Amino acid sequence: MILILDTGSVLLSHSEFVSPVLDIVVDVAGPDCIIKHYSNVIEEDLSCADKVIICGCPVADDKFCDDLGMFSWVRGFDKPILGICAGMQIIAGVYGANFVDISEIGMTKIKILKKDKLFFGANSSLFEMYCVHGKSVDVPKGFDALAESDKCVECIKKKGSNVYGVMFHPEVRGRWIIENFLGL
């Protein structure tokens, strides 16, 4: 079962940032998934999940920053996690990273710094993805930076695990990233 987490506190968040992820997951992995708002996740949800995707939310909707304690489970979760935008900020924040004010909106050139199975199928070490964020994070201790743009780190991975964060939005024009994650 794939657990998809909504990080937004406004209705727009679900239709813009969660539904497109759900469509990809159902298309690739089938209907065995559940969507929950992060504030409603219980231990049973996590124990039943084979993978977790923490979705993004609108730029100004950063209530999740005040609720990082609700994501403490990330540290002990031993299954694959993909954090998208706000999800990457959450993962990095749980591991002590600093938030950095950096705005990126629109198609952005992403440079792969380190080869990884998440990027399988990329035609080169440079590709474009859609970004929409007002802050990023530095790379937390115990993580590798896998990709960057001219402005910020765009992908991180916890060393020795399948815990990933991406600042860009693969649900917009990079479904292959989510497909690769689902194949882990």
Q: What is the DSSP string of 73-128?
A: GGGG--S-EEEETHHHHHHHHHTTPPEEEEEEEEEEEEEESS--GGGTT-SSSEEE
Q: What does the alpha-carbon distance between residue 184 and residue 181 come to, in Å, rounded to a whole number?
A: 5
Radius of gyration of the chain (CA): 15
What element of type H or E holds 2? strand 2-6
Closest CA to 171 of 97, 47, 87: 87
Q: What does the alpha-carbon distance between residue 69 and residue 112 come to, in Å, rounded to a whole number?
A: 31
pLDDT at 180: 97
Predicted confidence band of residue 11 (pLDDT cuts 50, 70, 90): low
Marked catalytic residue, from 33, 57, 85, 131: 85
14 among known catalytic residues? no
CB of 67 closer than 8 Å to CB of 97: no
Residue 64's domain comprises 2-182
Q: What does the alpha-carbon distance between residue 5 and residue 46 come to, in Å, rounded to a whole number?
A: 11
85 among known catalytic residues? yes
Average pLDDT rounded to a whole number, residues 63-92:
93
Average pLDDT rounded to a whole number, residues 61-65:
78
For a pLDDT cut of 70, what percent of the chain falls above it? 98
Give the type of residue at 64: F
146-163 residue pLDDT tens: 999 999 999 999 999 999
Q: Looking at the DSSP assignment, which residues form a beta bridge with residue 136?
A: 100
- Dump strand ranges (E) for 113-184: 126-137, 143-148, 153-158, 163-166
CATH at 131: 3.40.50.880
Marked catalytic residue, from 16, 148, 154, 171: 171
Name the average pLDDT for the chain. Answer: 94
Q: Per the structure, how many domains does the chain have?
A: 1
* Whole-prediction pTM: 0.95
